[in-house]
Structure 1
């Protein structure tokens, strides 16, 4: 339910705030395509941080470069994916195994001073030099995109939206947050090819 999603995202946000996450702070997000994808992205945003998608299907070398570039104090992940990631100084917060620690956190939204110009997420292009190039998307840009979606599509059209796109693409913002902003449901596809 919306209440459960909100509570879990708020608990994650409080845990991340305790680790130093706030405006302009990048947080890696490496989870399977489950409801934790929504909880993770929303929790990072509620903490004031910016999510950095780390697709578990990416090569270890690329994930290492993205983690190094993000330089965040925390990494939101599924525990079984940690071994696939290069070593990092970020504190892991595992959505599938840190239940006790997360359950101790308040279910109310943390108070965070966010502005339109603050970073919401960072996605990477392939880069012309062979190294991924980060593209910073602000809250203002993301909200403008969602505003367009909500004025273009009716709540009826958004009542059940398939989220099949990787978080590494802007379309995922529409797939995840447009239905949630209009009272709809998000169906997270485990794999875009299934």
Structure 2
């Protein structure tokens, strides 16, 4: 994972995601528990998405560039139990987080870095939800589209059979995390040894 001058190896990314996943599991994240993610495009964003999936949860991406009203709507409509973000971003956006447990990655308990770097045990099935992405909706009102692990895996299988590892060795993640194309940009390269 390459973000500006920051570089994370697969081992580093996996260890960080696993530690955060253990923390999320201890907080009650598991199958069908929705976790909203509101972050700038950085290493914490990818780490968080992986951690939620490893914990067995369902991620709900929020793009900080979207209007506040849309973010508030998505957060409330999605039924997210948790919101992962950063303190400065939450302070600047002033979202309505009523009923949502907020966890800021820059203010996690010190013990998180001492948690296991191995993946936690989960009981996720193919039918379990992997993520919920909000479309603009045909009526102009955003609509959540729930994607199962089976559907996400089918999409990634297609990507890996269509594009060679050489073609995916360095993929630019330029699409908003709120669009399905971000699944290809983030997870296809990581699934075949490429760099994001």
Q: Structure 1 length as normaliser, TM-score?
A: 0.91
Tell me the matched-pair count: 186
The correspondence for 2:85, drawn from 77, 82, 86, is 77
Please say if residues 176 and 182 of structure 2, whose CA atoms lie closer than 8 Å, have aligned partners that are also in contact.
yes
1:65 aligns with 2:65: no
**Structure 2 unmatched runs, 5+:** 1-8
Q: 1:21: which partner in 2? A: 29
Q: Which moved more, 1:151-160 or 1:128-137?
A: 128-137
1:116-174 CA distance string (max 9 Å, x none): 11100001111233321100011001000100111111111111110001111111001
Secondary structure (helix, strand or coil) at the match of 1:11 reads: helix
Partners of 2:120 and 2:107 in 1: CA distance: 22
Please say if residues 84 and 103 of structure 2, whose CA atoms lie closer than 8 Å, have aligned partners that are also in contact.
yes
Partners of 1:32 and 1:93 in 2: CA distance: 15
Partners of 1:106 and 1:73 in 2: CA distance: 24
1:175 aligns with 2:192: no
Q: Structure 2 length as normaliser, TM-score?
A: 0.90
Partners of 1:82 and 1:36 in 2: CA distance: 15
1:121 aligns with 2:135: no
Partners of 1:155 and 1:79 in 2: CA distance: 37
Map of 1:30-179 to 2, 5 A cutoff?
Answer: 30-83=38-91, 84=93, 85-98=95-108, 100-179=110-189
Q: 1:12: which partner in 2? A: 20
Secondary structure (helix, strand or coil) at the match of 2:171 reads: strand
Partners of 2:98 and 2:26 in 1: CA distance: 18
Partners of 1:70 and 1:18 in 2: CA distance: 22
Structure 1 residue 96, shift from structure 2 partner: 2.8
- Segments ≥4 residues shifted beyond 4 Å: none
**Structure 1 unmatched runs, 5+:** 187-194
Structure 1 residue 107, shift from structure 2 partner: 1.4
User: RMSD across aligned C-alpha pairs, in angstroms?
Assistant: 1.4
Secondary structure (helix, strand or coil) at the match of 2:145 reads: strand
Q: Which moved more, 1:54-63 or 1:98-107?
A: 98-107
